[in-house]
């Protein structure tokens, strides 16, 4: 390989150089195909990745059930965890789907009255101020055509439902994979330990384990606390909406609870579709009352409930939490908004540890 370190002199050097260039050119040409194959591979493995995430989350109640109810036995604890998970999913579906259908039905029922009221409002505005509202009036007149176009897209919705069947199969695979991951947790961890011990120096092995323990402690504390807080917030919203006799309380409270998994911005993100659902049902005052409920619940949760549940699980300031949410959401969507906070918390903890080591070494030198 000495010919790589000098200018080509012989015909053989030139042939080797051209062969290397051709190989590089051929490799660059294969990059799009390799990227496509990689994407297909990631897509095929996505159910197993989802199963791993689900297993990690369900391991939190599994350890609780094993310690409190099952005398340390993981088998019955895993069964209780899945019964709890499937029960929660079943209840949420039972609450959301009927309310969603009712909301769509109410919107279709009230749609002609919406257009009539808006047309009268625009006519009165034009008579009072002299403004030309004909473009908006024409838009309202064409609204029926827009509704008809939505109706004509029913076959596309059927195709989308067929695609949802494939997603349902992925969910089944993810559920089965999570059960295997949970049942074989100890074996998998022992295998990972053996691989790391064989491939890393003792010091590097210890550092990797320390980082893994820190990440596990941060993620478990944050995810478990955030899920409990989201459940409490959703329950509070449901009770207050039920007391005030607001419509769609189950559907909206579930939306608020799910979005509350995102810290700081979650309740307000959930408030937007909730208020829109009430407005589309022709309930302006109920939408205003719902916004007031969200403000009250957010203040109570932020000042009293969340600090007791989460404590200082992340060690991040408010600005750090907001930065993690925005950055994670920009690159990874909803999952990034949820996981961005504990990821940044782990990075910040490692940086603090590194700075402490540097400061300690500098003091020892002095």
Listed by start position, the domains of the chain span 203-359
* Structure tokens, 114: 């919406």
SS3 content of the chain, % helix, strand, coil (to 5): 90, 0, 10
- pLDDT for 24: 74
CA-based angle 321:322:323, to the nearest 5? Answer: 90
d(CA 196, CA 126): 75
Side-chain-facing half-sphere of 263: CA atoms under 13 Å: 29
Side-chain-facing half-sphere of 5: CA atoms under 13 Å: 2
- pLDDT for 327: 79
DSSP letter, residue 131: -
Write the CB contacts of 140 (distance below 8 Å, at least 6 apart in sequence): 115, 118, 119, 122
Side-chain-facing half-sphere of 161: CA atoms under 13 Å: 6
CA-based diameter of the chain, in Å?
A: 92
Tell how far CA 104 is from the center of its chain: 25
Distances (CA, A) of 39 to 168, 308, 321: 20, 42, 31
Torsion of CA 110, 111, 117, 123, to 10 degrees: -170
DSSP letter, residue 200: S
d(CA 141, CA 147): 11
Write the CB contacts of 300 (distance below 8 Å, at least 6 apart in sequence): 236
- pLDDT for 83: 93
d(CA 187, CA 177): 15
pTM: 0.67
Mean pLDDT over the full length of the chain: 76
- pLDDT for 285: 85
d(CA 92, CA 145): 34
In contact, 254 and 95? CB cutoff 8 Å: yes
- pLDDT for 151: 47
- pLDDT for 154: 47
Residue whose pair of structure tokens reads 């608020």 in the numeric block: 256
**Low-confidence residues in the chain, pLDDT < 70:** 1-14, 17, 27-44, 100, 103-118, 122, 130-168, 264, 280-282, 307, 309-315, 317-318, 365-366
- pLDDT for 3: 46
DSSP letter, residue 9: -
d(CA 340, CA 333): 10
- pLDDT for 254: 85
CB-count exposure of residue 15 (10 Å: 0-12, 13-18, 19+)? exposed
Reduced to 3 states (helix: H, G, I; strand: E, B; else coil), residue 299 is: helix
């Amino acid at each position: 390989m000495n010919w790589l370190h000098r200018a080509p002199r012989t015909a053989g050097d030139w042939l080797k150089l051209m062969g290397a260039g051709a190989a590089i050119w051929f490799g660059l040409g294969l990059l799009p195909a390799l990227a496509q194959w990689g994407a297909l591979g990631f897509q095929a493995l996505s159910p197993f990745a989802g199963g791993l995430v689900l297993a990690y989350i369900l391991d939190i109640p599994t350890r609780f059930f094993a310690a409190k109810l099952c005398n340390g036995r993981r088998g019955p604890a895993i069964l209780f965890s899945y019964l709890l998970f499937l029960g929660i999913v079943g209840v949420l579906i039972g609450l959301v789907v009927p309310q969603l259908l009712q909301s769509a039905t109410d919107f279709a029922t009230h749609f002609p009255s919406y257009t009539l009221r808006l047309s009268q409002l625009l006519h009165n505005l034009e008579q009072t101020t002299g403004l030309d509202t004909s473009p908006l009036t024409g838009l309202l007149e064409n609204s029926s055509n827009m509704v008809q176009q939505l109706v004509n897209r029913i076959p596309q919705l059927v195709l989308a439902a067929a695609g949802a069947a494939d997603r349902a199969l992925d969910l089944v695979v993810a559920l089965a994979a999570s059960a295997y991951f949970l049942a074989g947790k100890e074996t998998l961890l022992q295998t990972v330990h053996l691989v790391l011990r064989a491939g890393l120096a003792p010091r590097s092995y210890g550092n990797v384990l320390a980082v893994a323990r820190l990440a596990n402690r941060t993620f478990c504390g944050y995810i478990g606390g955030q899920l409990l807080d989201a459940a409490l917030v959703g329950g509070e919203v449901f009770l207050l909406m039920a007391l005030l006799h607001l419509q769609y309380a189950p559907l909206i409270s579930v939306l608020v609870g799910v979005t509350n998994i995102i810290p700081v911005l979650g309740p307000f993100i959930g408030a937007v579709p909730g208020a829109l659902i009430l407005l589309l049902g022709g309930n302006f005052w109920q939408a205003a009352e719902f916004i007031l409920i969200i403000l009250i619940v957010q203040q109570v949760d932020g000042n009293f409930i969340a600090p007791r549940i989460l404590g200082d699980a992340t060690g991040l300031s408010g600005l750090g939490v907001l930065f993690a949410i925005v950055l994670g959401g920009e690159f990874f969507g909803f999952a990034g908004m949820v996981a961005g906070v504990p990821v940044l918390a782990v990075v910040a903890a490692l940086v603090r540890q590194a700075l402490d080591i540097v400061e300690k070494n500098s003091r020892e030198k002095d």
